[in-house]
């Protein structure tokens, strides 16, 4: 399968596939002409990584998941541990975003949004800049 066909099958950009090859996530064969020749297995790996990236897994985590996927003697506990750690990180990020939203929402509500120069949003940002 050509890189274009692998891209279509895995829903990845050519540049992304080349990068994944460069970092060793996939290793397609090369024909005598030097062109990449993706097997069905390599294309499945690409789709696997694409889905994992869609779920926010890092490249390192994708590498670990791929290793577990290919290891038929794996323990599902290892997979669950990796996914649970990622889920905890997502929860931490969500909590941080919710805190940012609450702070910014309070500032927006306090700002009159009229022709006066006073603005609690700018005052807060200036106060944070003076502290940092």
Predicted TM-score (pTM) of this structure: 0.81
Non-local (6+) Cβ contacts of 18 within 8 A are 3
Q: Do both 10 and 47 map to the same domain?
A: yes
| E strand residue ranges, 48-119 | none
Domain extent at residue 14: 1-57
Among 27, 57, 87, give the residue marking a domain's end: 57
Asked if 84 and 127 sit in the same domain, the reply is yes
The pLDDT score that the predictor gives to residue 86 is: 98
Q: Let me know if residue 70 belongs to a domain.
A: no
The band of 23, judged by pLDDT with boundaries at 50, 70 and 90, is very high
Residue 119 confidence (pLDDT) above 70:
yes
């Amino acid at each position: 399968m050509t890189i274009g066909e692998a891209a279509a099958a895995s829903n990845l950009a050519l540049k992304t596939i080349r990068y994944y090859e460069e970092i060793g996530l996939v290793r397609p064969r090369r024909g005598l002409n030097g062109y990449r020749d993706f097997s069905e297995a390599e294309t499945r790996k690409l789709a696997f990584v694409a889905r994992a990236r869609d779920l926010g897994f890092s490249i390192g985590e994708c590498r670990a998941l791929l290793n577990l996927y290919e290891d038929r003697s794996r323990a599902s506990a290892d997979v669950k541990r990796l996914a649970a750690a990622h889920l905890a990180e997502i929860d931490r990020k969500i909590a941080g975003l919710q805190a940012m939203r609450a702070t910014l929402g309070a500032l927006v509500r306090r700002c009159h949004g009229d022709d006066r120069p006073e603005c609690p949003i700018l005052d807060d940002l200036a106060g944070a800049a003076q502290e940092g």
